[in-house]
């Protein structure tokens, strides 16, 4: 598999379309991999025994993670990612509709690198995606 810039873990098809549209509008052309639920994301990062499965997926530069996912929620995905030595340094931006204090606190406790609430306005949503990708793909220097 080619190098992946961004892994998007998002079950809302409309939000995925808006994210991809924001990439195109800004001229950003990341190699993105999209998972529609927590189980799909976990299976592609880890084998059934819970070990990182590097043959299936190379380390991405950024994971954009929704919390409200079917099957396995985003908190569980975050916990898996941050508990493994190989994946814990991948930047994870929680991008969710939840503005609950307990979700923010738990996300940071589990190792999220950033927590952003999805704007309801389409233009603001697109701007937020552009800012996220600009910072994490162009300005930030990752651990690996």
Q: Structural domain boundaries of the chain?
A: 6-139
Distances in Å between the Cα of 48 and the Cα atoms of 32, 41, 51, 53, 106 are 24, 12, 7, 9, 25
Say which CATH topology domain 6-139 has.
Rossmann fold (3.40.50)
User: What does the block give as tokens for 137?
Assistant: 């793909």
State phi, psi for 48 to the nearest 5 degrees. Answer: -60, -25
In this prediction, residues 117-125 reach a mean pLDDT of: 96
Rounded percentage of the chain residues whose pLDDT exceeds 70: 90
The pLDDT tens digits for 13-65 are 999 999 999 998 888 788 898 999 998 888 887 765 555 555 555 788 999 99
User: What does the block give as tokens for 132?
Assistant: 């996220």
Please give the model's pTM, rounded to 2 decimal places.
Answer: 0.90
């Amino acid at each position: 598999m080619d190098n992946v810039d961004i892994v998007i873990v998002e079950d809302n098809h409309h939000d995925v379309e808006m994210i991809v549209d924001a990439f195109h509008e800004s001229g950003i052309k990341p190699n993105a991999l999209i998972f529609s639920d927590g189980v799909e994301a976990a299976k592609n990062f880890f084998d059934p025994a819970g070990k990182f499965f590097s043959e299936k997926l190379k380390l991405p530069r950024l994971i954009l993670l929704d919390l409200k996912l079917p099957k396995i929620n985003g908190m569980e995905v975050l916990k898996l990612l941050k508990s493994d030595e190989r994946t814990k340094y991948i930047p994870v931006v929680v991008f969710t509709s939840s503005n609950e204090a307990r979700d923010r606190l738990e996300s940071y406790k589990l190792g999220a690198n950033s927590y952003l609430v999805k704007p309801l306005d389409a233009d603001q949503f697109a701007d937020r995606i552009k800012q996220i990708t600009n910072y994490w793909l162009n300005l930030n220097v990752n651990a690996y």
